[in-house]
Chains A and B, each alone.
Chain A
């Protein structure tokens, strides 16, 4: 696991309103954000 600060951390680490919204968006599609601790987010672009 990387220790480097990832760009996705900008979305999900914040304790402010935006962080709240971003984490909520992932919760709404079934991702357990209580277990989130900075893991890399991997997009899968399906054409």
Chain B
């Protein structure tokens, strides 16, 4: 539902800019429901995206994602097809409330389940929590893999700055989707492709953002796969090197205490929060340079 609404906003922007929007469905990797794991289907989705873009008459694409594996899958497919592309996520779900406590969908579940198993929380209460934890559409509202990968898409330059943590269904998200529709038409004119955006320096930025957020370690697997599609030389050594200089500065669950909506209110996505750029400065000149000067490369700061 949320992605359908976003698609309509994108279409409006595309038409305003003089383009013709063509929405098409793709495989959806529902993280909670696919067994044994949605990870088995990430590469299938990447192939599907690549072949859709290669075989259909599209000049550019808006990629609508949200959950953990859909983000890297789309970036991998777009990288291989190498047509102008912008990625937009659906956003984090609203926080449910149980007994006055705001619930983190990817963190409190495990804590409270441990309490049930330990006998300190009745099963009936756990049922109440289930209703609150599944309180609406959107991705997990903590810095799990979904929020991490969407923040990384920003850092790579493939998602509008500040977009990833906007609330599901918010007016700023809808406006951003319309703007992306306008922008992708411009990018087709500029012939700005994923290989121009997701450079070696962009991957350094993505790794620094991952570290600064205290994001999901799953991101390492996905970043290596995306880099592989682009022929970017990225190994675990690079994560090791950068991690020696980058502190975790985001106070968001599971590494910290806040939820994604509070993270957003505090400045949000890594590409619009000044403190991320500031901490990148000491000792990592090329990262600072690209972080501060990424404007002409990032899909959203060039227009």
Contacts and interface: CB of A to CB of B under 8 A. Distances in A.
A43 B189 contact: no
Contacts of A11: 57
Interface in A3-47: 4, 6-8, 10-12, 22, 26, 31, 36, 39-47
Interface residues of B, number: 42
Contacts of B245: none
Looking at A1, A7, A10, A41, which has the most chain B CB atoms within 10 Å of its CB? A41
B11 interface: yes
Contacts of B64: 44-47
Nearest to B181: A42
Interface in B23-82: 23-29, 45, 49, 52-53, 56-66, 70, 74
Contact of B74 (A2, A6, A47): A47
B10 interface: yes
A45 B18 contact: no
Contacts of A4: 189, 191
Nearest to A25: B57
Contacts of A44: 7, 10-11, 21-24, 61-62, 64
Contacts of B61: 42-45
Contact of B19 (A7, A39, A46): A39
A4 B45 CA distance: 31
Nearest to A43: B58
Contact of A46 (B24, B181, B188): B24
A42 B21 contact: yes
A43 B188 contact: no
A6 to B, nearest CB: 5
A16 B142 CA distance: 54
B7 A40 contact: no
Given A2-B188, A40-B20, A44-B62, A10 B57 contact: yes
B210 interface: no
Contact of B53 (A2, A12, A43): A43
Given A45-B74, A46-B26, A47-B26, A40 B60 contact: yes
Interface string B179-195: 00100110011010000
Given A8-B59, A11-B57, A42-B19, 5 more contacts: A42-B22, A42-B60, A45-B64, A46-B3, A47-B3
30 contacts: A1-B189, A2-B189, A7-B57, A7-B58, A8-B58, A26-B22, A31-B20, A40-B188, A41-B19, A41-B22, A42-B10, A42-B20, A42-B181, A42-B184, A42-B185, A43-B22, A43-B53, A43-B56, A43-B62, A44-B7, A44-B21, A44-B24, A44-B62, A45-B61, A45-B63, A45-B64, A45-B74, A46-B26, A46-B64, A47-B28
Interface of B: 3-4, 7, 10-11, 14, 18-29, 45, 49, 52-53, 56-66, 70, 74, 83, 181, 184-185, 188-189, 191
